[in-house]
């Protein structure tokens, strides 16, 4: 048994330092919105996947705590962790659960309260997500350090500059300024980015995503249910996923993420998208810009640009609205925020709203094909998920 799967409800909290709520209250902000949008009651949910990386929160096991607060006690639930791509992994698990016939309606919740721990603790915990005994313990690598390695390798090989990296930040802050849910809803200038302090050369403060509290939720349903509850479903057309080595010394190249390339081609094949020219079929994309270099590498890994030419897209403003492919119109992880477990779910919410024309006018992409892409990376390429969302029902169940 194989069934089509649609998003029928979405919810999204304000991202930022959310000391005003506990983790259950933060989760409920998104769950309530998703239930209301879907027009269903908690008792109609069959199963819930909760995406949470954790370690920094006062609630080390938040799934049942958050669901109990939302009136969802009694249903089956599971916590999902795939580092920064946990949200997309949870969506994949929910998609498979419905597609297989095990459930008709599944909630996916992503939630983090990262600011409940001091910044050095959070930095250490994220740094441990590489290869702890080899890279973190022996060399003290943190995530800015990991991505600085990518940035220096890319710049040395292809001639990109620090200004090119900063132009990613400028673009993403520009669109975040129109997003009321963003952590940093304000514009910055190229000069501000270039003058910000170095975190790990060549990455500066404005090249790095922030520590974020936030939640996002989507309700997925079978085609049969979707027909009954909404006349505007957003379909999951395909999901591609792959993994890379935990140890960077085992990677063959530092200028791209092989796992992302594999995941993209898998998703494109399933969705019937030409991997050699995907920008001709995709209206808008949310990519994993944990650091500005990560967005540039994503352009190439996804086939939006040829190897070594990704930086030219942002240099020429081709990833703004009106360019070749609008990218991160939410503000991205860089300016919208990056609550690790909520990020992939937040991308799904954003892209569903983009496809349905429900975002603020200044950041609404032109929707010509009814196709959107989410690119979500865990760790330094440990996990990769590429998800294709469409307005048109997928061609195959």
Residue 176 within a domain: no
Residue 253 within a domain: no
Q: Identify whether the C-beta of residue 325 lies closer than 8 Å to the C-beta of residue 304.
A: yes
3-class secondary-structure state, position 371: strand
Give the pLDDT confidence score for residue 133 in this predicted structure: 62
Give the pLDDT confidence score for residue 140 in this predicted structure: 65
3-class secondary-structure state, position 78: strand
State how far the alpha carbon of 219 is from the alpha carbons of 11, 24, 35, 49, 107, in Å.
Answer: 9, 18, 8, 10, 5
Q: Identify whether the C-beta of residue 107 lies closer than 8 Å to the C-beta of residue 48.
A: yes
Q: Identify whether the C-beta of residue 375 lies closer than 8 Å to the C-beta of residue 298.
A: yes
How far is Cα 146 from Cα 17, in angstroms, rounded to an integer? 25
Residue 244 within a domain: no
Q: Tokens for 263?
A: 């995941």
How far is Cα 165 from Cα 143, in angstroms, rounded to an integer? 17
Give the number of other Cβ atoms within 10 Å of residue 224's Cβ: 10
How far is Cα 108 from Cα 13, in angstroms, rounded to an integer? 14
pLDDT along the chain (397 residues), means of 10: 91 98 98 98 97 90 94 95 97 98 98 94 79 62 89 98 98 98 98 98 98 98 97 97 86 92 98 97 98 98 98 98 98 98 98 98 98 96 96 82
Q: What angle, rounded to 10 degrees, do the helices at 258-271 and 292-301 form? A: 50
Task: Give me Rg for the CA atoms of the chain.
Answer: 19
Residue 40 within a domain: yes
Q: Which of 256, 288, 338, 353 is catalytic?
A: 338
CATH for 220: 3.40.47.10
Q: Identify whether the C-beta of residue 115 lies closer than 8 Å to the C-beta of residue 20.
A: no
Q: Tokens for 355?
A: 């496809």
User: pLDDT for 355-387, tens place per residue?
Assistant: 999 999 999 999 999 999 999 999 889 999 999
Query: Roughly how many angstroms between the first and final C-alpha of the chain, as a whole number?
Result: 9
Q: Identify whether the C-beta of residue 270 lies closer than 8 Å to the C-beta of residue 237.
A: yes
Q: What is the DSSP-derived secondary structure letter of residue 106?
A: E
Give CA 172 to chain center in angstroms: 14
Residue 225 within a domain: yes
Give the pLDDT confidence score for residue 135 in this predicted structure: 64
Give the pLDDT confidence score for residue 124 in this predicted structure: 81
Q: Give 327's strand partners.
A: 285
Give the pLDDT confidence score for residue 60 in this predicted structure: 86
Q: How many domains in the chain?
A: 1
Give the pLDDT confidence score for residue 121 in this predicted structure: 87
Residue 35 within a domain: yes
Residue 66 within a domain: yes
Give the pLDDT confidence score for residue 221 in this predicted structure: 98
State how far the alpha carbon of 73 is from the alpha carbons of 69, 96, 114, 251, 296, in Å.
Answer: 8, 22, 25, 44, 43
How far is Cα 340 from Cα 302, in angstroms, rounded to an integer? 21
Which residue carries 């080899």 as its tokens?
A: 134
Range of the domain at 221: 5-118+211-229
Q: What is the DSSP-derived secondary structure letter of residue 54?
A: -
84 in active site:
yes
pTM of the model: 0.97
Sorted by sequence, the CB contacts under 8 Å of residue 91 that are 6+ apart come out as 49, 108, 218, 220, 236, 239, 344, 345, 348, 387
Residue 354 within a domain: no
256 in active site:
no
Give the CB-side neighbour count of residue 280, counting CA atoms within 13 A: 6
């Amino acid at each position: 048994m194989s069934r089509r799967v649609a998003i029928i409800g979405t919810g999204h909290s304000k991202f930022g330092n959310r000391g005003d709520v506990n983790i259950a209250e933060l989760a409920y902000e998104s769950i309530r919105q998703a239930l209301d949008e879907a027009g269903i009651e908690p008792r109609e949910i069959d199963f819930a996947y909760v995406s949470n990386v954790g370690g920094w929160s006062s609630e080390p096991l938040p799934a049942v705590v958050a669901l109990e607060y939302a009136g969802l006690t009694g249903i089956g639930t599971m916590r999902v962790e795939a580092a920064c791509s946990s949200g997309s992994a949870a969506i994949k698990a929910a998609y498979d659960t419905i597609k297989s016939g095990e459930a008709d309606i599944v909630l996916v919740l992503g939630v983090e309260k990262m600011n409940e721990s001091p910044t050095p603790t959070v930095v250490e915990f994220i740094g441990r997500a590489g290869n702890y005994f080899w890279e973190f313990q022996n060399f003290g690598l943190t995530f800015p350090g990991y991505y600085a390695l990518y940035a220096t390798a890319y710049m040395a090989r292809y001639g990109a500059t620090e200004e090119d990296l900063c132009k990613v930040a400028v673009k993403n802050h520009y669109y975040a300024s129109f997003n009321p849910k963003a952590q940093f809803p304000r514009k910055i200038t190229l000069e501000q980015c270039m003058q910000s302090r170095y975190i790990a050369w060549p990455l500066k403060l404005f090249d790095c995503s922030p520590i974020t509290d936030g939640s996002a939720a989507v309700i997925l349903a079978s085609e049969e249910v979707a027909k009954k509850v909404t006349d505007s479903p957003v379909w999951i057309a395909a999901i591609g996923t792959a993994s890379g080595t935990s140890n960077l010394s085992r990677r063959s190249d530092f200028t791209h993420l092989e796992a992302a390339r594999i995941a993209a081609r898998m998703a494109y094949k399933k969705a019937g998208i030409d991997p050699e020219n995907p920008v001709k079929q995709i209206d808008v994309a949310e990519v994993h810009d944990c650091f500005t270099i990560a967005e540039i590498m994503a352009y190439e890994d996804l086939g939006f640009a040829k190897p070594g030419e990704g930086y030219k897209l942002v240099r020429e403003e081709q990833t703004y609205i009106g360019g070749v492919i609008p990218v991160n119109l939410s503000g991205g992880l860089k300016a919208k925020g990056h609550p690790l477990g909520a990020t992939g779910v937040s991308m799904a919410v954003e892209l569903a709203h983009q496809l349905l024309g429900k975002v603020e006018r200044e950041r609404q992409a032109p929707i010509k094909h009814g196709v959107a892409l989410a690119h979500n990376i865990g760790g330094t390429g440990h996990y990769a998920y590429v998800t294709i969302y469409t307005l048109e029902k997928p061609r195959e169940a």
